[in-house]
Amino acid sequence: MATFFLVVPATAPLVGVLVGGMLSDRLGRVRTVALFLVGFVIMIAGLAVTDLRAGTFPGALMAWLTGMYLFVGMFTAASYAWYMDLTDPALGGTQYSMFMSAMNGCESWAAKVGGMWVRAHGYPWALGMMCGISLLSLPILWWAQREGRSRVTDFPTK
């Protein structure tokens, strides 16, 4: 396990960032953000189900974790690229920093709530709840994309 956690959390997200960035450039930001979010949720759900089976399959747990770390990298690349696309170049530093701060706030909130749920109900239930909440973000993502597209034409061209 020590070797796994030495290698996988460092290498799988790196591979994910490279693959996710290339796919995001080819397939579009919102499409890949949504796709990678769903992939991430599938990995976490698989981890939760495997854990429900009393963690009797350590190889399966490591496989789900590897996939999770891979999708973390892909989601990160696609979402950061989308944030960059959403910024007005004149305010890019401020807007991008605000996007990142909001993301960090969400991650902190999720860690706090997830930890509380783990203590109260165990890992599988907590992971399942977080998966459900993550999937609820998909309509918001598509709405934001539609709104962003309509506002892009409002910016003066130089």
Domain span including residue 78: 2-152
Q: How many domains does the chain have?
A: 1
Identify whether 158 is part of a domain.
no
Distance CA 32, CA 37 (A): 8
Identify whether 38 is part of a domain.
yes
pLDDT in tens, 55-110: 667 788 899 999 999 999 999 999 999 989 888 888 888 999 999 999 899 889 88
Instruction: Give the CATH number for residue 130.
Output: 1.20.1250.20
Identify whether 157 is part of a domain.
no
Instruction: Write down how long the chain is.
Output: 158
Q: Read off the pTM.
A: 0.84
Identify whether 111 is part of a domain.
yes
